Structure 1
Amino acid sequence: MARKREKPVSPRSLLGPYGRLFAVPGAVWFSLAGWVARLPLPMLGLGAVLLVEGESGSYALAGAVAGTLALSAAVGGPLWSRAMDRRGQGRVLQVAMAAYLLTGLAFVGVVVGDAPRVTWFVLGALTGASLPGIGAMVRARWAAALEDAERRQTAFAFESVVDEVVFVVGPPLVTVLGTLVAPAAGFTTGIVLGTVGGLWLARQRDTEPVAVPVTTGGPSRLTAALGPAVVVVSLAYLGVGTVFGAMDVVVVGFAEEQGVPALAGLALALYAGGSLVAGLAYGVARLRGTLAGRFLGTAVAFGLAAQGLWAVSSLPLLVGAGFLAGLAVAPVLVSGASLVESRVPRSALTEALSWTNTGLTLGVTAGSALAGAAVDAWGAQAAFAVPALAAAGAAVLALGAAPLLRRAPGPVEASPSRVGDPVGG
């Protein structure tokens, strides 16, 4: 009996679920606006370094100012998100963008004008604190618009790919502007792009989640936003972010040690490319098991995949190990966002997702600092221990917290939305 030939999987069938996402009214525009508004995320830190170093000649001062900006953004993002859950994204985002534009331009002014150094730190901190969690806002819109959990996973995977594109496009753009045009050009461009994208998103009121005002007698909004699942995912993301920050520094240092600094960009692009490919595939996969189980599985895979970095001794090995490690990045980020979305009331979802972004941001800051110190002390090849150990730590933490994640979650209220999902569940 002749065996029936299986129909091969075509790119069209693989990417079809992503195309169907944008049948949701307004989805194309809020996702595109969110992409533009997120471009400053990788541009501001590097842009601040290029600006401050270009005006002062000090990398130490530049790193300190950029670190202050990043830390204030990590704290300010969840606070803006809490206000958005209560009062609506559009109203709060307009205020945030006004503050972001004013403080960002003022920061450029005091640095270029050589004002007292304390003003550099103050305005850098205010600029970072004015930047809301755009990624969390866009994901909250998807969660409000899509009824089916599998389609929300696809949407979160798509946004993870958008994040990868942002971090691929942003650094080269800010470097070209900051080095070939003027030290202030890259940072200023990030401020302008963020403001344009943020205000564009703020105008799209029809797709924003319905605000839920504070009520008395129920659990506090902070308690709802920082439940066990959110804390575990945020701490695991701290390890993931440490890997991100460390890889940027160690790969550049290793390429310089090998005498081919220009190839650092290629290695980092392939690392990001591995995550992009895995994110697209994970978003359309129909996996069995619970969301907690998926998160634990992807966290362990992330920890194991990064252990190949211990073997890096040449650029070909770096390319291979980096691509393999990159394949595990997007799945753990998507599964973590899906788990948080399933465990948090809609009235606190934007804030909860912002706390996970805070974990990533703090990790990136810590990873850059630790990796820089390790490269100076041990050399770049030995410094690959930093991302490898950070990835292992994220996996161990997730496994250790498994009992918390396996507890039956409480009921999550239905998602009120102004948007109708034409595909439905």
Structure 2
Amino acid sequence: MSPRTVLTPYLDLFAVPGTRAFSLTGLVARVPMATVGLGSVLLVEGETGSYALAGAVAGTLSLSFAVGSPQWARAMDRVGQSRVLRGTALLYLVFGLAFVTVVLADAPHWTWFALAALSGVSGANVGSVVRSRWAHALPDAGQRQTAFAFESVADEVVFVMAPPLVTFLAALIAPPVGFLTGLLLGVAGALALSRLEETAPPVTPRVAGEPRTRVRVLTPGLIGIAVTYLAVGTVFGAMDVVVVGFAEAEGHGVAAGVALSAYAGGSLVAGLVYGIARVPGTLVGRFVGTALLFAVAAQSLHLVGSLPALVALAFLAGLTIAPVLVAGMSLVEARVPRAGLTEGLTWTSTGLTVGVTAGSALAGTAVDAWGAESAFAVPALGAAVAGLFAVAAWLVLRRTDVRTEVAAGVTP
């Protein structure tokens, strides 16, 4: 089979007018997703020498993003994506620059947390914005799975390229440079995406004199998926902190970016394959199965004892990331009303972000208390919990109406 034949499903996606533009600008706009956590850890640890404080600040950024992004998503569904994207990009720029300033000025630590919170809460979830545009552009369920897989691959491209960039800039120039690079790229990408109004999902017009009705998005099934994603997120947040600590303990701090890129690289490979595979079973079954595989694979992190082993095991564990993320997003897309799709997709990402918060804080404390090598127990445990939560979500999801899956072309 030729490479072109393998890539045909992806090439077909970009034959749809407008998809290249919003996917490319969305790729740039989501750079902070891969740089905020690591960049803030390198910045704060470089200024204070404390991984616990660095993890707490990074966690504050992530937690406040988790609080703010669903509200911005709801506003997008009501008034349109472009207006909201422009406002959040400018807020993010102002508060992000202020955060770096107070850290470098050695201002009281409460100002670090306050501005980290304001920076995070001003961020919109660009991944959900782009995925909702794909859902609007593609009528076929199989194509939407491929598009969601491509976006997971795009996420991993960012995670492959951005961590080494941030690490090298922080190590070779100055700690703030990595954080600022991600900040400026994200703002530029969001502003560019906001100009592509023709590909945004339409807003349901409001009839004059009638009260605005709110679409019910946060159902028990969606909560179950979001909670599972929360546990998955603890793995991501913990890996940022523990990998940096382990690499520095081994005397090769720059290698942290290489190891994190290997983790994301495994997910990139798996995402490309999953996007064109036609996996049998229901959407719920795929979600639970991929979550359990993710849980098992992460236990290999207990074996890390050297940097080469870390890179190899991170790549293998990373192979299970994209499938569970794509399966969850596809499940949400099939069950959430179109009028609330951006919000629905954002809630799952919010679960991830809250998990990143918990993972960063727990891992920072574990590195300081146990040492970095033993602290790999934190992401391994987080992955095991994700598997358990997925099974619990299945108990809820299997009782819900499956007509949405049938309509989406999935055999129950």
For 2:177 and 2:256, the matched residues in 1 are separated by: 23
Assess if the C-alpha contact under 8 Å between 2:59 and 2:361 holds in 1: no
- Structure 1 match to 2:401: 409
Assess if the C-alpha contact under 8 Å between 1:86 and 1:214 holds in 2: no
The yes-or-no answer on 1:133 pairing with 2:125 is: yes
Assess if the C-alpha contact under 8 Å between 2:297 and 2:317 holds in 1: yes
- What's the CA shift for 1:218? 9.0
* Letter of the structure 2 residue corresponding to residue 165 of structure 1: V
* Letter of the structure 2 residue corresponding to residue 276 of structure 1: L
1:299 counterpart (291, 299, 302): 291
- Structure 2 match to 1:370: 362
1:87 counterpart (71, 79, 83): 79
- Structure 2 match to 1:418: none
* Letter of the structure 1 residue corresponding to residue 339 of structure 2: S
- What's the CA shift for 1:157? 0.6
User: Which deviates more from structure 2 when the two are superposed, residues 359-368 or residues 173-182?
Assistant: 173-182
For 1:169 and 1:75, the matched residues in 2 are separated by: 27
* Letter of the structure 2 residue corresponding to residue 387 of structure 1: P
User: Which deviates more from structure 2 when the two are superposed, residues 301-310 or residues 72-81?
Assistant: 301-310
TM-score calculated relative to the size of structure 1: 0.86
1:361 counterpart (343, 353, 375): 353
For residue 281 of structure 2, give the secondary structure of its aligned residue in structure 1: coil
1:207 counterpart (199, 202, 218): 199
Q: Deviations over 1:127-184 (max 9, x none)?
A: 1111100000000000110011111011111110111111222222233333433443
* Letter of the structure 2 residue corresponding to residue 187 of structure 1: F
- Structure 2 match to 1:101: 93
- 1:213–1:103 Cα change, 3 Å: farther
Correspondence 1:10-409 to 2 at 5 A: 10-53=2-45, 61-212=53-204, 220-221=214-215, 224-255=216-247, 263-315=255-307, 317-409=309-401
- What's the CA shift for 1:255? 4.5
For 2:95 and 2:288, the matched residues in 1 are separated by: 40
- Structure 2 match to 1:4: none
Assess if the C-alpha contact under 8 Å between 1:94 and 1:202 holds in 2: yes
Q: Deviations over 1:1-34 (max 9, x none)?
A: xxxxxxxx33222111111110111111100110
- 1:177–1:378 Cα change, 3 Å: closer
Assess if the C-alpha contact under 8 Å between 1:87 and 1:213 holds in 2: no
For 2:97 and 2:369, the matched residues in 1 are separated by: 37
For residue 129 of structure 2, give the secondary structure of its aligned residue in structure 1: helix
For residue 286 of structure 1, give the secondary structure of its aligned residue in structure 2: coil
Assess if the C-alpha contact under 8 Å between 1:244 and 1:364 holds in 2: yes
- Structure 2 match to 1:5: none
- What's the CA shift for 1:48? 3.1
For 2:247 and 2:41, the matched residues in 1 are separated by: 21
* Letter of the structure 2 residue corresponding to residue 98 of structure 1: L
Q: Deviations over 1:387-417 (max 9, x none)?
A: 22211211111112213212343766xx9xx
* Letter of the structure 2 residue corresponding to residue 209 of structure 1: P
Assess if the C-alpha contact under 8 Å between 1:267 and 1:318 holds in 2: yes
User: Which deviates more from structure 2 when the two are superposed, residues 228-237 or residues 32-41?
Assistant: 228-237
- Structure 2 match to 1:419: none
For residue 278 of structure 2, give the secondary structure of its aligned residue in structure 1: coil
For 2:66 and 2:262, the matched residues in 1 are separated by: 27
Q: Runs of 4 or more off by more than 6 Å in structure 1?
A: 214-219
* Letter of the structure 1 residue corresponding to residue 289 of structure 2: G
- 1:214–1:312 Cα change, 3 Å: farther
For 1:109 and 1:402, the matched residues in 2 are separated by: 46
RMSD: 2.7
Assess if the C-alpha contact under 8 Å between 1:229 and 1:339 holds in 2: no
- 1:217–1:288 Cα change, 3 Å: farther
Q: Deviations over 1:24-73 (max 9, x none)?
A: 11111100110111112222233334444555666555444333222111
Larger Rg: 1
Unaligned runs of 5+ in 2: 408-412
- 1:313–1:292 Cα change, 3 Å: same
Assess if the C-alpha contact under 8 Å between 1:343 and 1:409 holds in 2: no
Assess if the C-alpha contact under 8 Å between 2:28 and 2:185 holds in 1: yes
* Letter of the structure 1 residue corresponding to residue 15 of structure 2: A
Assess if the C-alpha contact under 8 Å between 1:254 and 1:380 holds in 2: yes
- What's the CA shift for 1:347? 1.0
Work out the number of aligned pairs and report it: 404
For 2:73 and 2:358, the matched residues in 1 are separated by: 23
For residue 221 of structure 2, give the secondary structure of its aligned residue in structure 1: helix
User: Which deviates more from structure 2 when the two are superposed, residues 104-113 or residues 230-239?
Assistant: 104-113
Assess if the C-alpha contact under 8 Å between 2:149 and 2:274 holds in 1: yes
For 2:15 and 2:159, the matched residues in 1 are separated by: 27
